[in-house]
Amino acid sequence: MRARLTSRCAVVGMPSDDQRREYNVIRDIYRAANEQLVPGRTAGEVYRFVVERFAAKGMGYKSMLAGHSVGAWWHQQEPVISRDNPRRLEKGMVIAMEPHVNHWHIQDMLLIGANGPELISSKFSTEEIFLCG
């Protein structure tokens, strides 16, 4: 059995229009960032993509990382998707992507393939905010 990191946002009751709007922005940036996980791209280039996408929506990205590899010896290991990280992504790497702002946190694990990323933690959809209560 392989471990699969997954994080989702939830709202107690019905989400407001503002919550839905903000979640959709975060989700769309998250999905676009996942598509940047291709062999040969640097971790720093993926991080810069995330920062630029949030800036284009008027949201500052302050987190020191937007994702990280996962391995047998440590939860957050290289390559870390962080500012100016020169480490090149390679086919076969598994990256836990989690670009987030404020309380909105979406995280999945993606396998870098020759033709792009493959979502390997797809059990819970990111389409909508989870509703509780």
> How confident is the model over 54-111, as pLDDT tens digits?
999 999 999 999 999 987 766 677 899 999 999 999 999 999 999 888 878 888 899 9
What are the structural domains of the chain?
10-132 (3.90.230.10)
Taking the C-alpha atoms of residue 84 and residue 107, their distance in angstroms, rounded to an integer, is 22
Residue with tokens 């590899």: 69
Q: What is the layout of strands, in order, in the sheet containing 116-119?
A: 77-81, 67-69, 94-97, 108-113, 116-119
Reported pTM: 0.88
CA of 13: how far to CAs of 9, 45, 125, 131, in Å? 13, 38, 19, 6
